[in-house]
Amino acid sequence: MINPKIEKKLNKQLNDELYSSYFYLAMSAYFENNSFEGFANWMRTQSEEERLHAMKIYEYIQQVGGKVKLTSIKTPKTEWTSPLAVFKDLYKHECEVTKSINEIVDLAVNEKDHATNNFMQWFISEQVEEEATAQRLLNKIKFIGNDRQGLFLLDRELGMRSADN
């Protein structure tokens, strides 16, 4: 049976991952509404990835005899002033997710829950990648600034992302 404190933290993370999916979908809609189809595609793909992260946690909670508790998902921000503002929020959000995941690992270690600690290592590695990608994209957007040609090229690049990459 899962430790109740860990079960509570995992359920929070499950719901946070669902919010992340919703947040990326809101960013996708923003870009779609502003004719950045490539950015929108990248965000939609990321939204689906976040939903899959939530399902990993959902399945783990079930597997270890816990009870999944879904909560309401807060409304994400839907308007930004520029692509730069979106990517600043994206990076900040991923840093918050990393902090939350680290808290679960810290609790698992303190509670000597080796199974949860082991399970969460995948998320630790994933967050290293997520933060690095967010930072790289933010740096590109900062470099491009308001250069329309640069934004067009980055939009085209991000439009090539599929669920496999």
Phi, psi of 160 (to 5 degrees): -85, -5
Q: Provide the token pair at 3.
A: 């430790």
What is d(CA 80, CA 13) in angstroms, rounded to the nearest whole number? Answer: 26
Cβ atoms of 16 and 100 within 8 Å: the answer is: yes
What is d(CA 14, CA 12) in angstroms, rounded to the nearest whole number? Answer: 5
Which pLDDT does position 141 carry in this prediction? 96
Which pLDDT does position 162 carry in this prediction? 83
Angle (CA) 97-131-16 rounded to 5° is: 20
pLDDT in single tens digits along all 165 residues of the chain: 899 999 999 999 999 999 999 999 999 999 999 999 999 999 999 999 999 999 999 999 999 999 999 999 999 999 999 999 999 999 999 999 999 999 999 999 999 999 999 999 999 999 999 999 999 999 999 999 989 999 999 999 999 988 765
Which pLDDT does position 16 carry in this prediction? 98
Cβ atoms of 19 and 53 within 8 Å: the answer is: no
Give the domains, in start order, of the chain with CATH numbers. 4-159 (1.20.1260.10)
What is d(CA 122, CA 99) in angstroms, rounded to the nearest whole number? Answer: 15
What is this structure's pTM?
0.94
CA 56 vs. chain centroid, Å, equals 13
Name the DSSP letter for residue 68: -
Which pLDDT does position 146 carry in this prediction? 86
| The residue type at 91 | Y
What is d(CA 25, CA 33) in angstroms, rounded to the nearest whole number? Answer: 12
Task: Give the torsion through C-alpha atoms of 54, 59, 61, 67, to 10 deg.
Answer: 100
Which pLDDT does position 1 carry in this prediction? 84
Which pLDDT does position 164 carry in this prediction? 67
Residue with the two structure tokens 């779609």 = 32
